[in-house]
Amino acid sequence: MDIKSLQLFLHLANSLHFSKTAQAMHVSPSTLSRCIQRIEDELGAALLIRDNRSVVLTEAGLLFKHYALQQVEQWALLKRSINQTKTELEGEINLYCSVTAAYSHLPPIIERFRRLHPKVEIKLSTGDSAVAIEQVLEHKVDFAITAYPDTFPARLHFIQLAEIPLSIIGPTTPCAVTQQINMANINWKNVPFILPEHGPVRRRFDSWYRQLKAGKPFIYAKVAGHEALISMVALGCGVGIAPDVVIENSPVRERVQSLLTATRLQSFDLGVCCHKTRLNEPLISAFISCVES
Q: Which amino acid would we find at residue 264?
A: R
Question: One digit per residue, pLDDT tens: the chain, 293 residues?
Answer: 789 999 999 999 998 988 888 888 888 989 999 999 999 999 999 999 987 667 899 999 999 999 999 999 888 888 777 765 556 788 899 999 998 899 899 999 999 999 999 999 999 999 888 889 999 999 999 999 998 988 899 999 999 999 989 999 999 999 999 999 998 889 999 999 999 888 888 888 999 998 888 889 999 999 988 899 999 999 999 999 999 999 998 999 999 999 988 777 888 899 999 999 999 998 999 999 999 97
What is the separation of C-alpha 178 from the centre of its chain, rounded to a whole number of angstroms? 32
Q: How far is CA 224 from CA 39, 44, 145, 169, 200, in A?
A: 35, 41, 16, 17, 13
Calpha distance 107→105 (Å, rounded): 6
Name 111's bridge partners: none
What 3-state class would DSSP assign to 196? strand
Other Cβ atoms within 10 Å of 7 Cβ, number: 19
Q: Return the half-sphere exposure (C-beta side, CA atoms, 13 A cut-off) of residue 23.
A: 6
Do residues 130 and 199 lie in contact, with contact meaning Cβ atoms separated by under 8 Å?
A: yes
134 closest CA partner among 147, 118, 123: 147
Calpha distance 57→53 (Å, rounded): 14
Do residues 21 and 138 lie in contact, with contact meaning Cβ atoms separated by under 8 Å?
A: no
Other Cβ atoms within 10 Å of 81 Cβ, number: 12
Calpha distance 25→138 (Å, rounded): 11
Measured over the CA atoms of residue 132, residue 125, residue 94 and residue 226, the dihedral's sign is negative
Helix 59-82 with 29-43: angle, nearest 10 deg: 100
Do residues 241 and 204 lie in contact, with contact meaning Cβ atoms separated by under 8 Å?
A: yes
Q: Looking at residue 86, what is its pLDDT?
A: 57
What 3-state class would DSSP assign to 105? coil
159 closest CA partner among 287, 291, 266: 291
Calpha distance 36→44 (Å, rounded): 12
Q: How far is CA 243 from CA 8, 220, 255, in A?
A: 35, 20, 16
